[in-house]
Amino acid sequence: MRNSFDKKSLLLYAVTDRTWLKGRAFSHDVEEALLGGTTLVQLREKELPYDEFLAEAFVIKALCGKYNVPFIVNDSVEVALACDADGIHVGQSDMKALKVRERLGNNKIVGVSVQTVEQALLAEESGADYLGVGAVFSTSTKRDADFVPYDMLKTICAAVSIPVVAIGGIYAHNIEKLSGLGIDGVALVSSLFAEADIKTATAKMRSLAEKTVGYGEGNEK
How does 193-205 read in b/e, with b if 16+ C-beta sit within 10 Å? Answer: bebeebbebbbbb
DSSP state of 203: H
Domains and CATH numbers, the chain: 2-213 (3.20.20.70)
Of 216 and 118, which is predicted with more confidence?
Answer: 118
The answer on pLDDT for 220 being more than 60 is no
pLDDT > 90: percent of the chain: 88
Give the closest residue to 22 by CA, choosing from 193, 174, 185: 193
Give the three-class secondary structure for 150: helix
Whole-Å CA distances, 114 to 56, 69, 123, 189, 196: 27, 24, 8, 18, 31
Spatial distance between the Cα atoms of 71 and 111, rounded to a whole number of angstroms: 12
Whole-Å CA distances, 21 to 28, 59, 135, 195, 208: 9, 16, 24, 10, 25
Evaluate whether 72 touches 109 at the Cβ level (below 8 Å). Answer: yes
Catalytic residue numbers?
44, 113, 142
The answer on pLDDT for 139 being more than 80 is no
Which ranges of the chain would DSSP assign to H, the alpha helix? Answer: 26-36, 50-66, 77-83, 97-104, 117-125, 150-159, 190-193, 198-213
Average pLDDT, the chain: 93
User: With bands split at pLDDT 50, 70 and 90, how would you rate the model's confidence at 142?
Assistant: low
How does pLDDT run across 58-109, given as a tens digit for each residue? Answer: 999 999 999 999 999 999 999 999 999 999 999 999 889 999 999 999 999 9
Within 13 Å and on the Cβ side, how many CA atoms surround 17? 18
Give the closest residue to 80 by CA, choosing from 98, 56, 63: 56
The answer on pLDDT for 219 being more than 50 is no
User: With bands split at pLDDT 50, 70 and 90, how would you rate the model's confidence at 35?
Assistant: very high
Rounded to 10 deg, the angle between the 50-66 and 26-36 helix axes is 30
Say what the pLDDT of residue 218 is: 44
| Least confident piece of the model among 40-44, 136-140, 201-205 | 136-140
Phi, psi of 166 (to 5 degrees): -85, 140
Q: Which amino acid is at 140?
A: S
Say what the pLDDT of residue 221 is: 43
Task: Output the pTM of the full model.
Answer: 0.94
